[in-house]
Chains A and B, each alone.
Chain A
Amino acid sequence: MLSYLLRRALYALPIMLGVAFLCFMLVHIAPGDPLVSILPPDASADLQKQLMELYGFNRPLPVQFFSWVWRALHGDLGTSIATGRPVAGEVIKAVGNTMMIAALATLIGFAFGALFGFVAGYMRGSWIDRAASLVSVTGVSVPHYWLGMVLVIVFSVKLMWLPATGAGPDGSDDWHWDWAHFQYLVLPAVTMSFIPMGIIARTVRALVADTLSQEFMVGLRARGLSEFALFRHVLKNCAPTALAVMGLQLGYLLGGSILIETVFSWPGTGFLLNAAIFQRDLPLLQGTILVLALFFVILNLLVDILQTVFDPRIERG
């Protein structure tokens, strides 16, 4: 099995290289001069040339690519054109913030989603099943940034229980684990949790219904196993796939948090991305996308490996 895991990990390498290549090419397919955002329109040709050399935009593309990858491997993602600070530092901090709401959202989504899914799967065809179906369809269909807005309207504007935007009182960036800060976490995380909730509810429901209908369950019941023991069997069968879906959802939320972070002005990677796009801050844009995409690839790899380890039905070798 070790050889299979090794091969699987090895297989992720060309993917990561491809991802890096795509990240790199993204900013270069943009029409126009990469420097157009930072240069004042009346800049002299000399200044232009200077900056081109400084940023390396005058070298041939393959060279730029490899030097970028090389530096990235050493932790250097360049310097932000807008702020002048190293990109890596900004991204790391932002990732931490995003991870907070993403992880919380995944947990909430998984908890409720699994609950609904289990109930629906057990009571197939009943009104509970239909209700749970409704919840899951809603979770999958709702435009989450709009949901965020609605929650802000209800809880911030009307009820004034929770703050509308930001990550800390007075827009501060430092985090402390107290209610003053935690209350900023609630709305974004809850909003985000609807997406995994819907998907996990749907998946778990299908899994539970499928497992319950399998013949071995009839056999177990015929041998007199209690419903609770049967329930544990169902749990064991559904767990690997459900956990895999949860892992994938976490990865998805990490990468796709930009819309929610925009609504709540949450200083995470999405927010950073937004800023990078509008300021045409290319190093920041490249660095952020690269980190997010690679995170997703690695997370997928982990989920894949864990699934192989824990699910005896998957073939290895």
Chain B
Amino acid sequence: MAALMTDDRDIGGPAQPLLSVKNVVRHFPLGNKGLPFLKDARNVVRAVDNISFDVLKGETLGVVGESGCGKSTMARLMMQLLQQDSGELIFDGETVGSRALPLREFRRQVQMVFQDSFSSLNPRMTIEDSVAFGATVHGVSPKDAIARGRDLLARVGLDPIRFAGRYPHELSGGQRQRVNIARALALGPRLVILDEAVSALDKSVEAQVLNLLADLKAEFGLTYVFISHDLNVVRYISDRLVVMYLGEIVEIGTAEDVFAHALHPYTRALLNSMPSVDPTRRTSVAPLFGDPPNPIDPPSGCRFHTRCPQAQDVCSKRGPAVSTVGGGQVTCLEYEPDSGYVPISIAAAQELA
């Protein structure tokens, strides 16, 4: 936190969110090879549909959801590797892409670590060249960039003498991911997005990398967005949590709150599906049934109603709005007064949990 306070790029102070995602929408039209003018308006993958959330300074924001919920698309939108169809990003008070914060400048402040450690490194470049590249783009001389690169490699736990001149295929998965982290830090960003960054690693390696991430966060005053499908990891590392389903956000809250008493039925089901070694917490019935529906043709009304254990008629007719509950927010008709949803008792809810 101390490092954060003294960051001289900080504009709005600790209260202002570092990154604000506002009403971002991104759809993908389904392919039609070679004839781009023959678009089919119906056949669109609604990957990210009107999501809004904030990333607070100095926090680790976890993002969870099943495959196909739009997490990775959202990550790429946050990095502006994809352009959103509508909506905007606001970084420390400035709109991204505006004259006050052009895209190139934004890129120095936000970086990403990808899931596949191998494909995120150029197989023809040495490790140190890969790490140094970003800096050279922004005017740093090659010699300085290489020196800075080697410095960072050391910081992430890779001895430069042994590793700097090597190629990606000569390193293990964990080592490569460390390189990717070093590469992400080379530009000195304030926000780092980790898209399933540890998912492909062996458990022991995963623990080491997570500890490394924690150390780096403290040392450099970073803010993390940590995307994962592994709830245990997310619980360990996150301050706050965002839960996504089929392109929408269904719940936001502190990690403690969400894991203790989740608000949204989907979150509850997700948490219940974590296998537990505690014999008193055995689940005999699968908390979630069926396959996730198709993002091309999402269910009407509330998207979760087809698999929700407490769905009512009104859920298929009316899409819920965002409701603020306690310190977090949830998107479920249950919490909306005057929505037509008949609230079930708290006891009944806990029975299902």
User: A66 interface residue, CB < 8 Å from B?
Assistant: no
User: A11 interface residue, CB < 8 Å from B?
Assistant: yes
A7 to B38 CA separation, bound complex (whole angstroms): 10
A194 to B243 CA separation, bound complex (whole angstroms): 64
A17 to B32 CA separation, bound complex (whole angstroms): 21
Task: Provide a sorted-by-A list of 5 A–B residue pairs whose CB atoms are within 8 angstroms.
Answer: A7-B32, A7-B35, A7-B38, A11-B34, A11-B35
Q: How many residues on A have C-beta within 8 angstroms of the other chain's C-beta atoms?
A: 2
Task: Mark out the residues of chain B between 25 and 50 whose CB falls within 8 Å of any chain A CB in the assembled complex.
Answer: 32, 34-35, 38
Q: For A11, what are the chain B residues with a Cβ–Cβ distance below 8 Å?
A: 34-35
Residue of A nearest to B32 (CB): A7
B-to-A contact residues, CB < 8 Å: 32, 34-35, 38
A11 to B35 CA separation, bound complex (whole angstroms): 8
A7 to B33 CA separation, bound complex (whole angstroms): 10
Residue of A nearest to B30 (CB): A317
A7 to B32 CA separation, bound complex (whole angstroms): 9
Q: For B32, what are the chain A residues with a Cβ–Cβ distance below 8 Å?
A: 7
Contact mask A3-14 → B, CB, 8 Å, 1/0? 000010001000
B41 CB, min distance to chain A CBs, angstroms: 16
Q: For A7, what are the chain B residues with a Cβ–Cβ distance below 8 Å?
A: 32, 35, 38
Q: For B38, what are the chain A residues with a Cβ–Cβ distance below 8 Å?
A: 7
A309 to B35 CA separation, bound complex (whole angstroms): 21
A315 to B132 CA separation, bound complex (whole angstroms): 41
Task: Mark out the residues of chain A between 1 and 51 whose CB falls within 8 Å of any chain B CB in the assembled complex.
Answer: 7, 11
A11 to B34 CA separation, bound complex (whole angstroms): 9
Q: For B34, what are the chain A residues with a Cβ–Cβ distance below 8 Å?
A: 11
B32 CB, min distance to chain A CBs, angstroms: 8
Which 5 A-B pairs give the minimum distances between C-beta atoms?
A11-B34, A11-B35, A7-B35, A7-B32, A7-B38
A129 CB, min distance to chain B CBs, angstroms: 29
A17 CB, min distance to chain B CBs, angstroms: 15
A9 to B38 CA separation, bound complex (whole angstroms): 15
A120 to B27 CA separation, bound complex (whole angstroms): 49
A10 CB, min distance to chain B CBs, angstroms: 9
Residue of A nearest to B34 (CB): A11
B343 CB, min distance to chain A CBs, angstroms: 44
Residue of A nearest to B43 (CB): A317
